[in-house]
Amino acid sequence: MKRILWIPGMVALLGVGCAHRAAPTLALHATAAGSALVESSGGKQLGMPGTMLPQPLVVQVNDASGNAVTGALVEFSGPEGVRFDPAAGLSDSNGQVSTNVTMGGIGGRYELTAASSDKSGKQFFLKVTELSAPYQQQVGYEVNEKYCAHCHNSESSAERVSNYDNLAVKPHSFADGNVLNKFSDSDLNAIITHGGPALNRSALMPPYGWTLSKAKTQAVIAYIRLVSDPPYQPAGVTYAK
């Protein structure tokens, strides 16, 4: 979250044509080699442009049997402006390498890459998506946490108890691009403002037109477009390959 294509209210992928790779860390020497990289934690986080993500990105090196490999070299890269600390590391006793990620200065979806090499020297890769939210999407996130996530997020947290399991009609996650990408911005605005019945959807979706300003409603829509998986691509927009 593939070069930058910024259109108000939506976000394009970042990453193709401007990949930034840190210089090789010569002090690190691999003592082992794996055959696959898997994400352990830290993917699809939401941060702000130019800031460090809340949690480190952790990847794991495995062998062909799925066992963790200790001592394999992993290098991280991403679009221009993304920084990694460290940019490379050797897998620990659990086969894992951790790095802190600072996002680039432009909001969007960032595709990051972790790379390692097998015994023959052939590289293998893992792609991880992180999200960088400018002001409007940050407002949308805050509105989501206050009003929407109680029903649209099936997982409870220390700050929020989910009501998802109590609902007869299960709300879609805001990241469910297979469903929500089919709705136009006008459709989403109608549902948020007037409730589900506005577009023959569930009456369990209440109207928020008296609760949210137009600006905050648009911010929620922008947030939905940002977190969409698969990514939202409005009709008529051409993306660089």
Same domain? 206 vs 218:
yes
Same domain? 139 vs 127:
no
- How far from the centroid of its chain's Cα atoms is residue 28's Cα? 30
Helices (H), the chain: 135-143, 149-152, 177-180, 185-194, 214-227
pLDDT tops 90 at residue 46: yes
Residue 194, in any domain of the structure:
yes
β-strand 73-79 against 19-21: which pairing, if any? antiparallel
Same domain? 118 vs 80:
yes
pLDDT at 158: 79
Average pLDDT rounded to a whole number, residues 24-30:
72
For residue 144, the 8-state DSSP code is I
Structure tokens at 57: 């990105």
Average pLDDT rounded to a whole number, residues 214-223:
97
pLDDT tops 90 at residue 11: no
Same domain? 83 vs 166:
no
Which residue is associated with the tokens 């860390």? 25
- Contact yes or no for 110/1 (Cβ under 8 A): yes
Average pLDDT rounded to a whole number, residues 98-118:
96
| Interatomic CA distance for residues 223 and 136, integer angstroms | 8
How does pLDDT run across 139-164, given as a tens digit for each residue?
999 999 999 999 999 988 878 889 99
Same domain? 127 vs 38:
yes
- Which amino acid is residue 196, in one-letter code? G
- Which amino acid is residue 38, in one-letter code? V
Same domain? 58 vs 17:
yes
pLDDT tops 80 at residue 108: yes
Average pLDDT rounded to a whole number, residues 189-196:
97
* CA torsion through residues 7, 12, 18, 24, sign: positive
pLDDT tops 70 at residue 197: yes
- Contact yes or no for 175/229 (Cβ under 8 A): yes
Select from 176, 83, 181 the least CA-distant residue to 132.
Answer: 83
pLDDT at 237: 54
| Interatomic CA distance for residues 181 and 188, integer angstroms | 10
Domain span including residue 165: 135-227
pLDDT tops 70 at residue 129: yes
- Contact yes or no for 115/74 (Cβ under 8 A): yes
Alpha-carbon dihedral 211, 216, 218, 221, rounded to 10 degrees: -80
Domain count, the chain: 2
Mean residue pLDDT of the chain comes to 88
Query: CB under 8 Å to 215, separation ≥6 — which residues?
Result: 139
How does pLDDT run across 47-87, given as a tens digit for each residue?
999 999 999 999 999 999 999 999 999 999 999 999 999 99
How does pLDDT run across 164-177, given as a tens digit for each residue?
999 999 999 999 99
pLDDT at 9: 40
pLDDT tops 60 at residue 235: yes
Same domain? 152 vs 97:
no
pLDDT tops 50 at residue 181: yes
| Interatomic CA distance for residues 225 and 229, integer angstroms | 9
